[in-house]
């Protein structure tokens, strides 16, 4: 463990870099509370999207790194701002008219449009917790509604009254004149309509911790700021929450970054110490637009898990958090294969290398071995040429390629075969477009068929290529079950037919035989699919039976 701790203290992996900042903050704290508190915030204005999950995952990675370099206990709070008024009706949920009728009411007071939970806020909170539980996160869930109504926020709300002018001064600097004229950090909950009111204060009363205001109809009300009668505007709420909970770390998206000085200053005014922050870049949909809960664009967690493993999603989230990521279905295959590449690398690495490996930050010290003897992208192409409707069809080829592999002993591979079939049928199959070969391509494919059918012809192609390259090398053994040998044959045939760029040769194989512009390492694919089957596939492509 000491070796790993030493590696963590010098690792350039971003979770360790952030963990060291949190440790330094804790060590410099005068009043240590005996644990480090990590927090993530969630606005349940719509169904949780994958970016919300990513925030908890990445915070967990930093928490795990912290636990490597320190013995200080940790906690993680997932805080839901479910007392926020519903300002916009999400377009991806039912009962739109009912939701519109409940506009501006706290999310936990809006009826659940799905009819399953106590409120819309409770529904969205349950969805978030289900997603987080799927991934085995250790966290404590806090509801803003419960936090305000139970009195846990009362002391910081009273401080906000005492320091009202100071907090307002911070906020007013950030607002346009028109907005500043009616702004207040306090948002009263109307006693009759239950709506969150955005109205100016007539007075903020320090003697009894109440606020006085006129509602939208001009009627005057006085309410205590405590007990859930009032909530804070979202920017002051950030800083107040940090002060109330004594938060040590919180990350948020780039769209919050300009508000960081506001959050920090309000936290300090209300008696807290600003936490460490980490700002990540936003997730984008297929067209480059920011993922939004209200519009429901971008991938959902359930959608990713239909086509790939939870670990592949964690791997995707780990990569370059300060770089904007386009989250569409086409990123899944690469994430699956790269995750397993890192698993295989981990087994051979020393402790320093392991501390920098993404799979350590996904799994902690308990990193599993990969049983993926066939890459995911290869499974996709196998599903494509086989027209697979279920994973059992793929297993017929897998067992011939890797006789030792069984579904029972290779659960990752078995799950991946099922993912590949679903991914192929939903995304690859509808987009497949075959074409006929050019004359040059036809001649090359004809020779490839012959070479795949004869050891002598295969070796002759390699010898011809070597001679043209001026190489005096011994010819390899002709093994038609070996993907490397078959790839050498494919490469030699393309070289002998003098393609201007060998990429054009491989692209032709993909477009004529697979109906797509990109594809697998063709020799490895032929070894998996079977050489005779590949010969038949080429014959069909040349006969126009695929196009």
State how far the Cα of 108 lies from the Cα of 220, in Å rounded to an integer.
25
Nearest to 201 by CA among 230, 236, 159: 230
List of E strands, 240-304: 249-253, 276-280, 283-284
Instruction: Determine the Cα angle at 358 with ends 353 and 360, to 5°.
Output: 70
DSSP string across 347-378: TT--HHHHHTSHHHHHHTT-PPPP--SS-HHH
State how far the Cα of 455 lies from the Cα of 138, in Å rounded to an integer.
58
Three-class secondary structure of residue 36 per DSSP: strand
293 is in an annotated binding site: yes
Three-class secondary structure of residue 217 per DSSP: coil
Cβ-proximal residues to 71 (8 Å cutoff; 6+ apart), any chain: none
Cβ-proximal residues to 24 (8 Å cutoff; 6+ apart), any chain: none
State how far the Cα of 45 lies from the Cα of 254, in Å rounded to an integer.
19
Cβ-proximal residues to 386 (8 Å cutoff; 6+ apart), any chain: 393, 394, 397, 529
Residue 325: phi and psi, rounded to 5, are -120, 130
State how far the Cα of 197 lies from the Cα of 184, in Å rounded to an integer.
10
Question: Are the C-beta atoms of 38 and 63 separated by less than 8 Å?
Answer: yes
Neighbours of 101 (CB within 10 A): 12
Nearest to 546 by CA among 508, 518, 537: 537
State how far the Cα of 465 lies from the Cα of 484, in Å rounded to an integer.
16
Q: Provide the edge-to-edge strand list for the sheet that holds 140-143.
A: 140-143, 74-80, 36-42, 249-253, 276-280
Question: Are the C-beta atoms of 495 and 468 separated by less than 8 Å?
Answer: yes
Question: Are the C-beta atoms of 425 and 537 separated by less than 8 Å?
Answer: no
How far CA 458 is from CA of 185, 426, 446, in Å, comes to 78, 37, 12
Binding residue positions for ATP: 293
Binding residue positions: 293
């Amino acid at each position: 463990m000491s070796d790993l701790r030493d590696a963590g203290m010098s690792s350039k992996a971003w979770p360790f870099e952030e963990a060291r900042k949190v440790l330094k903050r804790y060590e410099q704290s005068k009043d240590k509370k005996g644990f480090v508190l990590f927090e993530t915030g969630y606005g349940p204005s719509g169904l949780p999207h994958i970016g919300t999950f990513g925030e908890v995952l990445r915070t967990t990675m930093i928490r795990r790194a912290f636990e490597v370099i320190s013995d200080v206990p940790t906690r993680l709070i997932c805080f839901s701002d479910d007392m926020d008024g519903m300002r916009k009706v999400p377009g991806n949920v039912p009962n739109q008219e009912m939701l519109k009728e409940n506009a501006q009411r706290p999310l936990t007071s809006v009826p659940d449009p799905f009819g399953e939970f106590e409120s819309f806020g409770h529904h969205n909170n349950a969805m978030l917790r289900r997603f987080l539980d799927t991934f085995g996160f250790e966290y404590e869930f806090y509801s803003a509604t419960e936090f305000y109504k139970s009195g846990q926020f009362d002391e910081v709300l009273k401080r906000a009254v005492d320091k009202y002018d100071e907090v307002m001064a911070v906020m007013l600097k950030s607002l346009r004149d028109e907005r500043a004229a009616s702004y207040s950090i306090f948002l009263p909950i109307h006693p009759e309509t239950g709506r969150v009111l955005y109205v100016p204060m007539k007075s903020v009363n320090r003697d009894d911790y109440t606020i006085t205001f006129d509602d939208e109809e001009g009627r005057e009300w006085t309410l205590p700021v405590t007990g859930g009668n009032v909530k804070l505007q979202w920017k002051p709420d950030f800083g107040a929450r940090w002060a109330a909970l004594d938060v040590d770390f919180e990350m948020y998206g780039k769209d919050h970054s300009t508000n960081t000085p506001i959050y920090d200053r309000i936290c300090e005014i209300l008696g807290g110490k600003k936490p460490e922050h980490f700002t990540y870049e936003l997730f984008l949909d297929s067209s480059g637009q920011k993922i939004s809960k209200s519009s429901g664009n971008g991938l959902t967690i359930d959608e990713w898990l239909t086509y790939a493993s939870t670990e592949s999603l964690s791997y995707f989230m780990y990569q370059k958090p300060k770089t904007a990521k386009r989250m569409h279905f086409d990123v899944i295959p690469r994430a699956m294969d790269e995750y397993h590449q890192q698993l295989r690398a981990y087994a051979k690495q020393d402790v320093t290398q392991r501390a920098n490996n993404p799979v350590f930050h996904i799994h902690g010290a308990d990193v599993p071995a990969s049983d993926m003897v066939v890459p995911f992208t290869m499974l996709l192409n196998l599903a494509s040429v086989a027209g697979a409707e279920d994973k059992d069809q793929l297993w017929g080829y897998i067992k011939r390629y890797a006789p030792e592999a069984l579904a029972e002993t290779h659960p990752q591979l078995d799950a991946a075969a099922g993912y590949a079939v679903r991914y192929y049928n939903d995304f690859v199959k509808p987009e497949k477009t075959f074409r006929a070969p050019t004359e040059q391509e036809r001649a090359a494919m004809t020779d490839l068929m012959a070479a795949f059918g004869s050891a002598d012809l295969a070796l002759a192609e390699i010898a011809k290529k070597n001679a043209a390259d001026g190489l005096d090398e011994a010819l390899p053994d002709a093994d038609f079950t070996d993907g490397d040998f078959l790839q050498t044959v494919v490469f030699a045939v393309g070289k002998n037919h003098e393609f201007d760029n060998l990429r054009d040769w491989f692209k032709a194989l993909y477009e004529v035989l697979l109906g797509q512009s990109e594809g697998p390492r063709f020799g490895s694919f032929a070894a998996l699919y079977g050489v005779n089957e590949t010969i038949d596939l080429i014959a069909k492509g040349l006969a126009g039976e695929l196009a």
